[in-house]
């Protein structure tokens, strides 16, 4: 919800910067003030004794389970492929941050994730660095898309954006160099994810249509939180914010009618919410995606197997330029250092890793999903 409110706030700022009507600017400024109050309230729900790295574990667990939940219910094949693809990358980030946490603080991340999410390698972070062309995907036609698809795209874009911003801001505050560099590297991958997910949205929507969708998405999420919340105090907060967002939604519909002569039904055909968002463990789903798609990469609009990528693909040139010396890549350094100090990496697995190439706990695999036919660039 923190990420959702951040997205709403900065969308509103961008809207204002592209709006020439002073009265409309004033209307959206009122809503923006409330959105900011909501975000700051949610930010301060964070436990006061939680370290930035412990918070990072929560971000990555959220990224894994949220992406899996959205992918399982996504009817649009192309959007589902995008979700499944990035899922394995956030899964790998969780593993690398968890090893850093255990190495630096002696805290086992399996306790932080409640054992709902496994901690083991996904698509290795070193293999995730792609030329920017390959992170831009075809847009989804929101006029034809199912409501759940429009919500999924909005939700995951906001969540990944929040993670990207957090890493960008927290990197210089980490207490050692290897941690700072890990935040920098993974922050760049999160930027790729934001680029991928935001490109799925429909750029043909007007600013007011997008404002209506933002408010609808917030209503949907706060109502989902309210229905699923077990803590009474927090449940009351979700109820309060839901009621506030309903008023924002009505205001957005009013402005759409006033300035564009459009009814809200032209953007949200069905006023009922689709299936609510409810968090649960996704171990089997993640394992299945790992087993079947870990060796995929991204190439323009598609997600091909690394071995089928053309030799002249920009992916290989980018990897050669960026990761020519594997020993200097922060995400690899963290695991390599942990193994040298403790004999094997830190993991939490409920069963043997589904990918044979990633079962060796005494060596970090830097070739899978990166090297074509076993030939690596660095």
| 239 located within any domain | no
Tokens representing 1 are 């919800």
Q: For helices 147-170 and 207-228, give the axis angle rounded to 10 degrees.
A: 90
* Contact present, 62 and 91 (Cβ < 8 Å): no
* Confidence at residue 374, expressed as pLDDT on a 0 to 100 scale: 83
Q: Any idea how long the chain is?
A: 378
Query: Rounded CA gap, 310 and 187, in Å?
Result: 28
Q: Which domain holds residue 104?
A: 52-205+267-358
pTM for the model stands at 0.97
| 16 located within any domain | no
* Contact present, 297 and 306 (Cβ < 8 Å): yes
Residue range 128-178, pLDDT digits in tens: 999 999 999 999 998 899 999 999 999 999 999 999 999 999 999 999 999
* Contact present, 153 and 79 (Cβ < 8 Å): yes
Model confidence band, residue 270 (pLDDT cutoffs 50, 70, 90):
confident
Positive/negative CA dihedral, 51, 57, 63, 65 = negative
Q: Where do runs of H (alpha helix) occur along 294-344?
A: 314-322, 330-342
Name the one residue in this structure whose structure tokens are 């998405």: 217
Q: Enumerate residues 6+ apart whose C-beta is below 8 A from 301.
A: 137, 138
Q: Name the β-bridge partners of 372.
A: 375
Q: What number is the average pLDDT over the span 357-367?
A: 98
* Contact present, 90 and 64 (Cβ < 8 Å): yes
| 136 located within any domain | yes
| Count of structural domains within the chain | 1
Mapped onto helix, strand or coil, the DSSP state of residue 200 is: helix
| 24 located within any domain | no
| 237 located within any domain | no
| 194 located within any domain | yes
* Confidence at residue 204, expressed as pLDDT on a 0 to 100 scale: 96
Residue range 321-330, pLDDT digits in tens: 999 999 999 9
Closest CA to 216 of 245, 183, 239, 194: 245
Query: Rounded CA gap, 282 and 280, in Å?
Result: 6
Q: What number is the average pLDDT over the span 354-371?
A: 98
Backbone angles phi, psi at 119, to 5 degrees: -125, 105
Residue range 191-234, pLDDT digits in tens: 999 999 999 999 999 999 999 999 999 999 999 999 999 999 99
Query: Rounded CA gap, 103 and 108, in Å?
Result: 9
Q: Enumerate residues 6+ apart whose C-beta is below 8 A from 62.
A: 159
Q: Return the beta strands (E) in the chain as ranges.
A: none
Query: Rounded CA gap, 291 and 353, in Å?
Result: 9
Backbone angles phi, psi at 74, to 5 degrees: -80, 120
| 91 located within any domain | yes
Residue range 281-294, pLDDT digits in tens: 999 999 999 999 99
Model confidence band, residue 375 (pLDDT cutoffs 50, 70, 90):
confident
| 317 located within any domain | yes
- Count of other CB atoms within 10 angstroms of residue 265: 10
Residue range 25-63, pLDDT digits in tens: 999 999 999 999 999 999 999 999 999 999 999 999 999
Q: Enumerate residues 6+ apart whose C-beta is below 8 A from 34.
A: 244, 248
* Confidence at residue 271, expressed as pLDDT on a 0 to 100 scale: 84
């Amino acid at each position: 919800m923190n990420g959702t409110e951040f997205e709403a706030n900065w969308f509103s700022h961008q809207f204002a910067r592209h709006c020439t009507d002073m009265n409309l600017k004033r209307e959206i400024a009122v809503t923006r003030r409330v959105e900011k109050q909501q975000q700051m309230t949610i930010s301060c729900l964070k436990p006061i004794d939680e370290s930035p790295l412990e918070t990072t574990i929560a971000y990555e667990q959220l990224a894994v389970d949220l992406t899996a939940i959205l992918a399982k219910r996504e009817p649009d094949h192309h959007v589902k492929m995008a979700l499944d693809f990035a899922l394995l990358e956030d899964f790998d980030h969780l593993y690398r941050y968890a090893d850093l946490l255990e190495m630096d603080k002696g805290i086992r991340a399996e306790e932080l994730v409640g054992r709902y999410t496994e901690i083991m390698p996904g698509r290795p972070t070193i293999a995730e660095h792609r030329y920017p062309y390959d992170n831009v995907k075809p847009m989804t036609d929101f006029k034809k898309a199912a409501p759940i698809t429009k919500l999924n795209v909005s939700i995951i874009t906001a969540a990944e954006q929040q993670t990207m911003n957090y890493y960008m801001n927290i990197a210089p505050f980490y207490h050692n160099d290897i941690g700072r560099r890990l935040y920098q590297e993974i922050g760049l991958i999160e930027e790729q994810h934001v680029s991928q997910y935001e490109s799925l949205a429909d750029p043909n929507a007007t600013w007011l249509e997008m404002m209506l969708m933002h408010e609808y998405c917030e209503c949907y999420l706060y109502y989902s939180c309210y229905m699923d919340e077990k803590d009474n105090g927090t449940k009351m907060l979700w109820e309060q914010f839901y009621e506030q967002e309903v008023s924002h939604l009505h205001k957005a519909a009013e402005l759409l009618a006033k300035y564009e002569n459009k009814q809200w039904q032209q953007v949200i055909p069905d006023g009922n919410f689709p299936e609510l968002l409810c968090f649960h463990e996704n171990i089997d789903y993640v394992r299945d995606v790992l087993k079947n798609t870990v060796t995929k990469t991204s190439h323009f609009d598609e997600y091909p197997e690394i071995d089928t990528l053309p030799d002249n693909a920009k992916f290989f040139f980018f990897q050669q330029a960026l990761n020519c010396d594997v020993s200097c890549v922060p995400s690899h350094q963290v695991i390599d250092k942990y193994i040298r100090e403790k004999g094997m990496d830190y993991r939490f697995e409920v069963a043997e890793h589904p990918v044979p190439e990633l079962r060796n706990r005494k060596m970090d695999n830097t070739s899978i999903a990166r090297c074509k036919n076993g030939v690596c660039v660095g």
